[in-house]
Amino acid sequence: MELSPRSIAFILILFISYFFCFGVAVDCGGKNVSYIITVGRSDKVTFRTIQVAIDSIKSNNDQWVKIHIKAGLYIEKVHIPLEKPCIILEGEGSQTTIISFSDHSSFKQGTSQSGTFISSSSNVIASDITFKNSYNIDDKGSNQILPAVAATIYGDKSFFFRCSFVGYQDTLFDVGGRHYFKDSYIQGEVDFIFGNGQSYYENCLINAIGRNRKLPGFVTAQSRDSSNDPGGFVFEGGSVIGNGEVNLGRAWRAYSRVIFHNTNFSSIVTPQGWNAASYGGQENKFTYAEVDCKGPGADTSKRVPWTKKLSSSQMKEFSLASFINKDSWLDNLPTISQ
């Protein structure tokens, strides 16, 4: 069978991720920040671009380094390479610190590489920043709609706080590893949270922009591919809003897993809620669940019959502590300013 560019990219990503996971663990020196780099447009900064600031950090870094990014619009692609863990990107507010670029997938370039922000390393923190891919957003319909990623996240132990991810198709490529998104904003319409991260989304605002009024969109396309795979997306609290219609998810792999708990659904959520995509007949392998959700879109009476009913004891497996923080890595991160 011929592989699509997305499938080829995903295989390469898994190889890279597994390679790094078997490497030496890094604790980044606990909660201490070794030094701070400042990026901005004024004369009183260390660097004027974010990528040059990242490039200045030594390879195999084992102490937290903070890059403080002053308010402004940064038109650049930003990559944290595999060999540079322990980096903090700190903005001055997601409304004012914006990293934006216009790029898309092509025959020569896979979906993941279209990302405005690509984080390959483990132990990465970002706060108060917008990551935007403007390809399908600012062109006013002049370009063909193509996968255009705002952020591609490979590395284990990645934390995003008060960040925004803005795109249309394939906004957030949540590739693999343990990721924590808190108090963040994610915008798109087609598969706009996708991949196989072992990820926890707490109090996030999910905005389905609904540009195509003829076809409902998809919030998630989760790609867990075996019953032993730890991957999955857990949404705790937060809201799904927007216009048009949107499904909560469709399967990218046979054991796709997405759970919404205590989330508010606006009326844009379709009655069926979920889609098997190309895995019709294997729906018993999926874990799609809505637990204690509320709002006009939370009526499950017309949902597809293969959604899961999870008990309170089963839900404990998908708590923050159990799902991504068994080794307490979140408790040992440097304090983020409020």
Question: How far apart (Å, rounded) are the C-alpha atoms in residues 153 and 15?
Answer: 14
User: What 3-state DSSP class applies to 133?
Assistant: strand
User: What 3-state DSSP class applies to 241?
Assistant: strand
User: If you ran DSSP here, which 8-state letter would residue 20 be given?
Assistant: H
Q: Which residues contact 7 (CB under 8 A, 6 or more apart)?
A: none
User: What 3-state DSSP class applies to 152?
Assistant: strand
Fold adopted by 33-171: Pectate Lyase C-like (2.160.20)
Which pTM does this prediction carry? 0.92
Architecture of 189-329 per CATH?
3 Solenoid (2.160)
Contacts of the segment 320-328: beta carbons below 8 A, 24+ positions apart: 320/180, 320/200, 320/202, 320/236, 323/198, 323/200, 323/232, 323/234, 324/178, 324/179, 324/180, 324/198, 324/199, 324/200, 325/178, 325/180
Which pair of structure tokens corresponds to residue 283?
């729906």
pLDDT (0 to 100) of residue 42: 85
Domain ranges of the chain: 33-171, 189-329
C-beta separation of 248 from 260 below 8 A: yes
Question: How far apart (Å, rounded) are the C-alpha atoms in residues 224 and 196?
Answer: 6
Question: How far apart (Å, rounded) are the C-alpha atoms in residues 43 and 23?
Answer: 40
- Ranges in the chain, pLDDT < 50: 1-3, 5, 7-8, 10-11, 13-24
Phi-psi region of 183 (alpha: psi -120 to 50; beta: other; left: phi over 0): left
Largest CA distance in the chain: 62
Query: Sign of dihedral through CA atoms 100, 105, 110, 112?
Result: positive
**Catalytic residue ranges:** 170, 191
Whether 33-171 and 189-329 share one fold: the answer is yes
What is the residue whose two structure tokens read 């597809």?
A: 304
pLDDT (0 to 100) of residue 61: 96
Question: How far apart (Å, rounded) are the C-alpha atoms in residues 100 and 97?
Answer: 10
Which pair of structure tokens corresponds to residue 269?
């959520």
Question: How far apart (Å, rounded) are the C-alpha atoms in residues 26 and 136?
Answer: 38
User: If you ran DSSP here, which 8-state letter would residue 21 be given?
Assistant: H
User: What 3-state DSSP class applies to 327?
Assistant: coil
pLDDT (0 to 100) of residue 139: 55
pLDDT (0 to 100) of residue 23: 40
pLDDT (0 to 100) of residue 20: 43
pLDDT (0 to 100) of residue 2: 35
pLDDT (0 to 100) of residue 5: 47
What is the residue whose two structure tokens read 């499938």?
A: 7
The vertex-318 CA angle with 281 and 209, nearest 5°, equals 70
Phi-psi region of 306 (alpha: psi -120 to 50; beta: other; left: phi over 0): alpha
Question: How far apart (Å, rounded) are the C-alpha atoms in residues 282 and 253?
Answer: 10
pLDDT (0 to 100) of residue 34: 97
pLDDT (0 to 100) of residue 18: 42
C-beta separation of 224 from 257 below 8 A: yes
pLDDT (0 to 100) of residue 205: 98
Query: Sign of dihedral through CA atoms 92, 94, 99, 100?
Result: negative
Which pair of structure tokens corresponds to residue 148?
């255009």
